[in-house]
């Protein structure tokens, strides 16, 4: 789910080194364990595994499950992609993922062929989803939009379930929220702007929506046929951040009627909007608040937009593009080049800049 992060944390870096320097899965595992200086056990196989001793039974269940999906994906796509599985507890996870998404958020490191799973929990589809990220990367399918990459991984996972695992049911469309209630963020545009910043429960709600959308995209299609369309729609060597309308058009080409199926998910962002205003002086209040929120800036102008953060650092948002979710103290200001400011609130906000 969460992953594809450009920073190479310790575990991914070590796996990468081992994979590049060895020929056999057993060699990769042995070299990794020797270099990691931590007590991890190993299990060879088509998908070799590293795991904490306390999770042995669960780890072998995960390995067996992911190896079956791995064999099916390889056979369907006529493609061999080396994959390693690591199953870690909270302590080990924290050591290997400093600063990364917190335990127990499943993660894949696509360029290293590493699937990182927690020692307990996570849904039945999760290993297949994370495997999908790795296969998509190898097939040069990638988007500049976060939610599209999550949808693509879901397509691989759901295709396998529909073909080989009819015993697995997709999570209810409302999960993890009680039926009849809704999360705060309900548009794929929200997920694209904030990604995991929508909050844990809301993020997993989006993942379930994407699983059902993936199901509609693979219905009546073979995985190779869908992959061919994905390669044409989202080639990794031409990746760029696109509007929701552009993405909907791509997905309509894969499955006519996609926008209708997506319904409110294809609607506009529900993130609270803010506009440039007078800058706020925080000096009289004893400095900046210790509470942090985020601002996302969508630059719809023809030229780049310079934005100065409270710490004095200036960033540039390219034309017709959005910034990442920028962390900022509540009540602090981000200054624009025309002298106006974007003043943060106690919730995530979106500023669409059309002119200055």
Residue 237's Cβ-count burial label (10 Å; 0-12, 13-18, 19+) is exposed
> Angle at CA 52, nearest 5°, toward 47 and 57?
70
Residue 95 has, within 13 A of its CA and on its CB side, a CA count of 12
96 cis-preceded (ω within 30 degrees of 0): no
Average pLDDT, the chain: 87
- 3 within domain boundaries: no
What CATH number does the domain containing 163 carry? Answer: 1.10.390
Q: How confident is the model at residue 191 (pLDDT cuts 50, 70, 90)?
A: very high
Among residues 236, 266, 296, which one ends one of the domains? 266
Place of tokens 């996302």: 296
Q: What is the mean pLDDT of residues 347-356?
A: 93
297 and 259 part of one domain? no
pLDDT in tens, 11-50: 544 444 434 333 344 444 455 455 555 578 889 999 999 9
Closest to 10 (Cα-Cα) out of 40, 44, 35, 39: 35
Among residues 266, 296, 318, which one ends one of the domains? 266
216 and 334 part of one domain? no
CB atoms near residue 198 (< 10 Å): 22
Record the pTM.
Answer: 0.86
pLDDT in tens, 101-143: 678 889 888 888 999 999 988 789 999 999 999 999 999 999 9
331 and 258 part of one domain? no
Please count the structural domains in the chain: 2
pLDDT in tens, 292-349: 999 999 999 999 999 999 989 999 999 988 999 999 999 999 999 999 999 999 999 9
314 and 237 part of one domain? no
Q: Answer for the pair 83, 70: CB distance below 8 angstroms, yes or no.
A: yes
Domain that holds residue 308: 272-353
pLDDT on residue 341 = 96
145 and 106 part of one domain? yes
Evaluate if residue 79 carries a pLDDT over 50: yes
Q: Answer for the pair 82, 110: CB distance below 8 angstroms, yes or no.
A: no
- 1 within domain boundaries: no
261 and 288 part of one domain? no
pLDDT on residue 20 = 37
Rounded-to-integer distance, Cα 16 and Cα 144, Å: 24
């Amino acid at each position: 789910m969460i992953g594809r992060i450009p920073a190479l944390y310790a575990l991914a870096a070590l796996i990468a080194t081992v994979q590049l320097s060895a020929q056999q899965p057993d060699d990769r595992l042995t070299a990794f364990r020797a270099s990691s200086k931590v007590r991890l056990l190993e299990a060879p196989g088509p998908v070799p595994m590293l795991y904490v001793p306390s999770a042995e039974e669960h780890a072998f269940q995960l390995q067996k499950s992911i190896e079956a999906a791995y064999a099916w994906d390889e056979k369907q796509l006529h493609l061999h992609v080396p994959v390693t599985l690591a199953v870690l507890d909270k302590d080990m996870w924290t050591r290997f993922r400093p600063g990364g998404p917190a335990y127990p958020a499943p993660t894949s490191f696509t360029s290293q062929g590493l699937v990182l799973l927690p020692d307990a929990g996570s849904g039945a589809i999760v290993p297949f989803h994370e495997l999908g990220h790795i296969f998509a990367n190898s097939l040069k399918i990638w988007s500049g939009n976060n939610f599209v990459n999550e949808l693509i991984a879901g397509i691989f996972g759901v295709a396998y379930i529909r073909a080989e695992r009819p015993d697995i049911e997709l999570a209810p469309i409302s999960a993890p929220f009680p039926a009849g209630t809704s999360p705060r963020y309900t548009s794929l545009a929200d997920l694209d702007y904030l990604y995991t910043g929508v909050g844990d429960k809301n993020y997993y709600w989006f993942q379930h929506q994407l699983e059902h959308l993936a199901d509609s995209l693979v219905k009546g299609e073979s995985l190779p046929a869908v992959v061919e369309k994905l390669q044409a729609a989202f080639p990794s060597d031409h990746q760029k951040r696109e509007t929701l309308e552009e993405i909907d058009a791509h997905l309509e080409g894969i499955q006519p009627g996609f926008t209708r199926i997506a319904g409110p998910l294809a609607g506009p962002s529900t993130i609270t909007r803010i506009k440039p205003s007078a800058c706020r002086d925080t000096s009289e209040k004893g400095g900046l608040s210790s509470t942090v929120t985020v601002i996302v800036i969508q630059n719809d102008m023809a030229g780049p937009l310079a934005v100065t953060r409270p710490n004095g650092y200036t960033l540039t948002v390219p034309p017709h593009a959005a910034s990442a979710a920028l962390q900022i103290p509540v009540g602090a200001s981000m200054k624009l080049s025309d002298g106006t400011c974007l003043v943060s609130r106690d919730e995530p906000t979106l500023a669409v800049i059309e002119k200055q």
